[in-house]
Structure 1
């Protein structure tokens, strides 16, 4: 077996909800990527790792020393990303980081530049790009089939956090500011800046209306882009699951709705129309975009294909996030990006 066909050996840092999800989906991709160890300070993580046949260390520094590790997957609280990325880069390990990469543009630039300097692949947990209907929408937009892109309307909401214990880091405003922005809204801004380019300014509303979630449960953001066009995104943490992304252009529009959370994909309903055509409604079968994103990361490490999320796109997205946090802190003031 040539090196190109050997699975990439990874250390999974963090065995909470999402780390466990990635463990399960990667069982279907062992020919491309293999978890050889994990790191998790919670004793329950060690028990989970044992069940799945790999050792678990108390921290990422120890996991980086595990024999054969080529890359790390960070499924950890946002505030830990910077120091964990720094240690991984120093150890010359490729990095797949769950979103958001950072909470500031400066933090994103530091991570992107550090990986680039050592020629390390930096993957990002923006699995929405790997959903088949979203990938088709991006291709249609970039080919010009939708004409001049004008506007985005998007919502990604759920109530999964309402029942979390108050000590959970996902309910800490310092870790996850502005309602559901870092949990779900960050995916929508990623797609928005990919399609419309760098943002110009943002204006945000964030309220606590129906829960005890300290960072608020109902947020919306209006984003204007430097090259023209706008995006309206919303992310609620106190309503049953809904995920919708709609893109409007002069020659057509596409509206994508998920049937279920990406945790358990159930497919999509895609409604669309082009100039002179009737409205079309299609059912798209389920896929596993979380797995596909991680496999794409592994393929980039092996040199099979470039990883499709660029450092510039990562920085542009975190620039929007930083402005959204600032606007919410200023009671919805317009903040330049």
Structure 2
């Protein structure tokens, strides 16, 4: 199996993280990079041994380029994806797929019309603990799942200053739920399946820019289970999951206790071993595999529309003070 040559558009902290991951991928090579700052592009190119190009159009014109990785602001995803599709290049875009359902649909249509892959970067579901937890659920080890909780917090909101795209409420509708909480929304979708409706509360307490820094959303799943996701942009880092079932509860703390299981009748949860997986490498190699084999990526454009719709429904719920059926946003 050959390698897929990709270019990264939009150079910042996260593009560097992904470029470092690509260096360890068996199926990807970083061919080129582009950002508006030539100095920044040159530094990035030297560090990751790729070509700095003068424009996004120049990147798309490279004959040996197979695909692009878009780490641009959310509002730029549509234009970047549509241009890549017109050039016959495959597209990997960071989450969320876009800020709006209209843009997401346009990206899907453009990539499908050109016959190119559209993959979206919801990576945490590929973490070894999440994969193992999904197997426990599928095998009936937890019994009937009734409740799931996902929390993602960090203090990045305390550092936000006006003038950055992450500080612009037009760029981040839903505030920290769009920026970090969407990861846990996707995790619960992966573990529990489709959602029927949501109820949410958003607030801004401490961030200097007008961005919601604390959010909570309740999700009712079609299975009857209830899920809860909280995102907090003004407190210490926490990434935890809890899944409750009639036979056992499972707990996952990414930074501390790993995966633990407490079976009914036991007094405390016990550690569970699982196979470690580099979730970022797994998502990028999934993108490459989709290109090389023709198989669809795990998170294509259609699947990525669901966590986006939940964030947007949560925002509507908080503003209007009512539960929002997901069919209000995704009637199909």
Question: Could you tell me the TM-score, scaled by structure 1's length?
Answer: 0.88
Report the Cα distance in structure 1 between the residues aligned to 2:292 and 2:259, rounded to whole angstroms: 34
Task: State whether structure 2 residue 261 is matched by structure 1 residue 272.
Answer: yes
Q: 1:256 is paired with a residue of what secondary structure?
A: strand
- Quick check: 1:108–1:318 contact (8 Å CA) kept in 2? no
- Quick check: 1:156–1:184 contact (8 Å CA) kept in 2? yes
Q: What number of residue pairs does the alignment pair up?
A: 324
Q: 2:293 is paired with a residue of what secondary structure?
A: coil
The corresponding residue for 1:139 is 135
**Cα deviations by residue, 1:158-209 (Å, 9 ceiling, x for unpaired):** 1134224422111111111223112211111112223333322222212222
- Quick check: 2:157–2:207 contact (8 Å CA) kept in 1? no
Deviation of residue 329 (structure 1)?
3.4
Task: State whether structure 2 residue 51 is matched by structure 1 residue 55.
Answer: yes
The corresponding residue for 1:151 is 147
Change in Cα spacing, 1:284 to 1:174, as seen in structure 2 (3 Å) is: same
Q: What 5-or-longer segments of structure 1 have no aligned partner?
A: 260-266
The corresponding residue for 1:291 is 281
Report the Cα distance in structure 1 between the residues aligned to 2:205 and 2:105, rounded to whole angstroms: 35
The corresponding residue for 1:263 is none
Matches within 5 A, 1:1-337: 5-29=1-25, 31-42=26-37, 43-259=39-255, 269-275=258-264, 279-282=269-272, 287-303=277-293, 306-330=296-320, 332-337=321-326
Report the Cα distance in structure 1 between the residues aligned to 2:75 and 2:182, rounded to whole angstroms: 16
Report the Cα distance in structure 1 between the residues aligned to 2:223 and 2:30, rounded to whole angstroms: 42
User: RMSD of aligned C-alpha atoms?
Assistant: 2.3
- Quick check: 2:149–2:227 contact (8 Å CA) kept in 1? yes
- Quick check: 1:180–1:235 contact (8 Å CA) kept in 2? yes
Deviation of residue 39 (structure 1)?
1.4
Change in Cα spacing, 1:188 to 1:172, as seen in structure 2 (3 Å) is: same
- Quick check: 1:162–1:213 contact (8 Å CA) kept in 2? no
- Quick check: 1:268–1:283 contact (8 Å CA) kept in 2? no
Q: 1:224 is paired with a residue of what secondary structure?
A: strand
- Quick check: 1:33–1:298 contact (8 Å CA) kept in 2? yes
Report the Cα distance in structure 2 between the residues aligned to 1:320 and 1:236, rounded to whole angstroms: 17
Change in Cα spacing, 1:104 to 1:224, as seen in structure 2 (3 Å) is: farther
Q: 1:308 is paired with a residue of what secondary structure?
A: coil
Deviation of residue 146 (structure 1)?
2.4
Change in Cα spacing, 1:304 to 1:141, as seen in structure 2 (3 Å) is: farther
Report the Cα distance in structure 2 between the residues aligned to 1:304 and 1:103, rounded to whole angstroms: 28
Q: What 5-or-longer segments of structure 2 have no aligned partner?
A: 327-332
Deviation of residue 129 (structure 1)?
1.4
Report the Cα distance in structure 1 between the residues aligned to 2:253 and 2:10, rounded to whole angstroms: 30
Deviation of residue 276 (structure 1)?
5.3
